[in-house]
Amino acid sequence: MSFFEQTGKKAIGTRLRRLSEWITEDAAQIYTLYGVTLQPKWFPVYYVLSGGEAKTITSIAEEIEHSHVSVSKIIREMAKSGLITFGSDENDARKNLVSLSELGLAINDKIAPQFEDVGNAIEAIMAQSNHDLWKAIEEWEFLLSQKSLLQRVIEQRKARESQSVKIVDYTPVYQQAFRDLNVEWISKYFKMEPADYQALDHPQSYILDKGGHILVALYQDQPVGVCALIKKDHPVFDYELGKMAVSPATQGKNIGFLLGKAILDKARELGARNVFLESNTLLKPAIGLYYKLGFEKISGYPSPYERSNIQMMVEL
């Protein structure tokens, strides 16, 4: 069994590099075969300059979708081989321009038959294959431009790790975790306020006995996240989502979203029309989570918290 049969698709980068190395090694010999003084990595820069127009390094980098550093290095290498000349923009002396030298432009005639033969060779390979690699590459490039492989792996990691998360109802055994998790994040960014102490020191009387609920997220059977649904005696709001906290050690495992979703499901179960919350825009990940859960910004209601500078509500 080959290495790639053993590893499967997780070795896609290694396999693409191997294919690229095969083609690049052949490309170097093909240039020699046709007497063309180019290196394979120079080709994109040569091609955009082959029309004779002088360009800035920045414009070349944008056109071939390379970094400025990479293009600068290629330009220096081509200049050492006598293929590049330098100049300045007649309308803006601060702009440095590069163009092909006479030696560089002379490549155009030599490379024309090479282009024809290489193109025909590629077409022959495609005729022998069951899949159109060129179109497949275009499709992959588009898909990865919409969402990178890194982003997709992060999503898969969250989905896998969230399967180890259990959302359970609060019991007194979780009171210390409920307090500690909240004190940790509040103290990190703000200061504890009287309303915090009321809820965290007396969750039974302040939240549960008034018709509210508290949910606890367990990861590997340890409490790592908490969230409260607080019954509101208010003409507009039915419940408040509050006291949500997730241990920094387990952030990135989708625990906040799972807790928020479970709290909203509990509110629906109780027949709530809406859920309200207060937060601070300093907490950008939290605000992003609330929008993801369906909350929208509102304003005009008094708050018991000094740190609150944003209020949000979701209609159920």
pLDDT cut 70: percent of the chain above it: 99
Which of 3.40.30.10, 3.30.70.980, 3.40.50.300, 3.40.630.30 is the CATH number of 163-315? 3.40.630.30
* CA separation for the pair 54, 97 (Å, rounded): 6
pLDDT cut 90: percent of the chain above it: 79
- What token pair was written down for 65? 């979708």
pLDDT at site 8: 85
- Residue 239: which pLDDT band, with cuts at 50, 70 and 90? very high
Nearest in space to 97 (alpha carbons), one of 63, 53, 67: 53
Residues 120-132, mean pLDDT to the nearest whole number: 93
- Residue 74: which pLDDT band, with cuts at 50, 70 and 90? very high
Residue-averaged pLDDT of the chain = 92
Whether residue 43 is predicted with pLDDT greater than 90 in this model: the reply is yes
Nearest in space to 188 (alpha carbons), one of 243, 145, 143, 248: 248
Half-sphere CA count of 47, side-chain side, radius 13 A = 11
* CA separation for the pair 296, 302 (Å, rounded): 17
Q: Which fold has domain 34-146?
A: Arc Repressor Mutant, subunit A (1.10.10)
Summarised one tens digit per residue, pLDDT across range 140-164 is: 999 999 999 999 998 898 888 888 8
pTM: 0.68
Partners of residue 185 on adjacent β-strands: none
pLDDT at site 82: 95
Return the number of other C-beta atoms located less than 10 Å from residue 284's C-beta.
9
Task: Return the domain boundaries, the chain.
Answer: 34-146, 163-315
pLDDT at site 1: 63
Phi, psi dihedral angles at 226 (to 5 degrees): -140, 155
